[in-house]
């Protein structure tokens, strides 16, 4: 078994879409990013790559590559899972935290868990998503940014 951790942070800007775990969250602000800016998925991807010692999200999906402009992060996550499986590993579970002052995410946690689990090819019960605020401190606390952190556990396939 191996553990990986990932983190991502994006500025928030008026008039953009806010997408977390593949779910669009109704809000006036969204992430400034080369792709769709799904910070939660980006943190999970980095955790997966870290656990398998495969580099990071930028080495696989560079923001300098026009092919990833506006990319759906869930598609990138599916590719990361395929790369993980090709290395002989399978995902066991994910624990993640999203830090965002507004909007409140309580109503979206379950749909996000289900969305992530589908692409990760694990049961929703193996995906934890928590939402926190920063009590007005730092960029996330001031509503200027959204941050996500994730930890994954992977296991080598028995037949490899």
Taken in order of first residue, the domains within the chain and their CATH numbers are 2-156 (3.30.1330.50)
CA distance 152 to 37: 20
| pTM confidence score | 0.95
Give the tens place of pLDDT for each residue, 76-131: 999 999 999 999 999 999 999 999 999 999 999 999 999 999 999 999 999 999 99
Average pLDDT of the segment spanning 1-16: 96
Average pLDDT of the segment spanning 67-83: 93
By the 8 A CB rule, do 46 and 56 touch? yes
Judged against a pLDDT cut of 80, whether residue 37 lies above it is answered with: yes
Contacts of 14 (CB under 8 A, 6+ apart): 28, 29
By the 8 A CB rule, do 94 and 152 touch? yes
CA distance 49 to 55: 6
User: Reduced to 3 states, what is the DSSP secondary structure of residue 147?
Assistant: strand
- At residue 66, the pLDDT reads 86
CA distance 50 to 3: 8
CA distance 60 to 49: 9
The mean of the pLDDT values for the chain is 94
pLDDT bracket for residue 160 (50, 70, 90): low
CA distance 63 to 60: 10
DSSP-H helix ranges across 31-158: 39-51, 57-60, 73-86, 109-120, 138-141
Average pLDDT of the segment spanning 46-51: 98
């Amino acid at each position: 078994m191996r553990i990986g951790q990932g983190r991502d942070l994006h500025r928030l800007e008026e008039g953009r879409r806010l997408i977390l775990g593949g779910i669009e969250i109704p809000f006036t602000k969204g992430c400034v990013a080369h792709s769709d800016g799904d910070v939660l998925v980006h943190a999970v991807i980095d955790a997966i790559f870290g656990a398998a010692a495969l580099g990071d999200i930028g080495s696989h999906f560079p923001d300098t590559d026009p092919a990833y402009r506006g990319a759906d992060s869930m598609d990138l996550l599916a590719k990361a899972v395929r790369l993980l499986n090709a290395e002989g590993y399978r995902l066991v579970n994910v624990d993640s935290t999203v830090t965002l002052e507004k909007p409140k995410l309580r109503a979206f946690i379950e749909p996000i868990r289900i969305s992530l689990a589908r692409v990760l090819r694990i049961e929703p019960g193996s995906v934890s998503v928590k939402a926190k605020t920063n009590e007005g401190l730092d960029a996330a606390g001031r509503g200027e940014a959204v941050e996500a952190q994730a930890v994954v556990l992977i296991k080598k396939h028995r037949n490899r």
